[in-house]
């Protein structure tokens, strides 16, 4: 069983159950999340086991690529040592 995430955990988008969703970012329009994107949990909604997560993905220039709500099943934990996929 996967454990729940907490604030500021580093995550990678592993799959997308909802390919187009409400997103916000530095640029308008903000791009949609993609499988392989890395982000940080910035808010947790709901009780453990049923939570959804607000995730922020930051571009190399420091701008926010997107902020979106994702389900636990769409995310996987990463460590800072995980290589960036290109």
Assigned domain for 3 exists: no
Residue 80, pLDDT score = 66
What is the residue range of 62's domain? 10-77
Which helix (H) or strand (E) segment is 70 a member of?
strand 64-71
Asked if residue 42 is part of any domain, the answer here is yes
Question: Which of 43, 31, 30 lies closest to 70 in space, CA to CA?
Answer: 43
Give the strand order in the sheet containing 10-13: 64-71, 52-58, 38-45, 10-13, 75-77
The count of domains in the chain is 1
User: Is the residue at 64 inside a domain?
Assistant: yes
- Tens of pLDDT, residue by residue, the chain (86 residues): 456 899 999 999 999 999 899 999 998 899 999 999 999 999 999 988 889 999 999 999 999 999 999 999 999 999 866 666 54
* Bridge pairing between strands 75-77 and 64-71: unpaired
2, part of any domain:
no
């Amino acid at each position: 069983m996967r454990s729940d995430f907490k604030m500021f955990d580093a995550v990678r988008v592993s799959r997308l159950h909802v390919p187009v969703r409400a997103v916000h970012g530095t640029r308008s329009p903000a791009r949609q999340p993609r499988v392989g994107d890395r982000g940080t949990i910035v808010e947790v909604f709901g009780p453990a086991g049923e939570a959804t997560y607000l995730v922020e993905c930051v571009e190399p220039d420091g701008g926010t690529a997107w902020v979106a709500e994702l389900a636990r099943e769409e995310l996987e934990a990463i460590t800072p040592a995980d290589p960036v996929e290109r």
